[in-house]
Amino acid sequence: MKINVVRSVLEAGEASAAENRRRLDAAGVVAINVLSAPGSGKTALLESTIPALGSDIRCAVLVGDLQTTRDAERLGPLVAQVTQINTEGGCHLSPSQIAQAISGLDLEGISFLFIENVGNMVCPAVFDLGEHLRAVLLSTPEGDDKVAKYPPLFQTADAILITKVDLIGVLDYDAARVREDLSRINTAAPLIELSSKTGQGMDEWLGWLRAQRPGGSGKEKSPPTAKP
Which residues sit at the interface with a copy of itself, rule CB under 8 A? 37-39, 65-68, 70, 89-91, 118-123, 126, 139, 141-143, 145-146, 148-152, 164, 167, 170
Nearer to a copy of itself, 22 or 184 (CB): 184
User: Least separation, in Å, of the C-beta of 93 and a copy of itself?
Assistant: 12
Nearer to a copy of itself, 13 or 228 (CB): 228
Q: What SS3 string covers the chain? A: CCCEEEECCCCCCCCCHHHHHHHHHHCCCEEEEEECCCCCCHHHHHHHHHHHCCCCCEEEEEEEECCCCHHHHHHHHHCCEEEEEECCCCCCCCHHHHHHHHHCCCCCCEEEEEEECCCCCCHHHHCCCCCCEEEEEEEHHHCCCHHHHCHHHHHCCCEEEEECHHHHHHCCCCHHHHHHHHHHHCCCCCEEECCCCCCCCHHHHHHHHHCCCCCCCCCCCCCCCCCC
Measured from the CB atom, the residue of 24 and 144 that comes closer to a copy of itself is: 144
Least separation, in Å, of the C-beta of 139 and a copy of itself?
7
State the CB neighbour count (10 A cutoff) for residue 226. Answer: 14
> Looking at beta carbons only, is 124 or 218 nearer to a copy of itself?
124
Q: How far is the CB of 3 from a copy of itself (least distance, A)?
A: 15
Query: What is the smallest separation between the CB atom of 212 and a copy of itself, expressed in angstroms?
Result: 27
Measured from the CB of residue 84, what is the shortest distance to a copy of itself in angstroms?
11
**CA quadruple 96, 121, 209, 202: dihedral, nearest 10:** 140
**Cβ nearer to a copy of itself, comparing 134 with 164:** 164
Taking the least distance from each CB to a copy of itself, the nearer of 112 and 127 is 127
CB of 179 to a copy of itself, least distance (A): 17
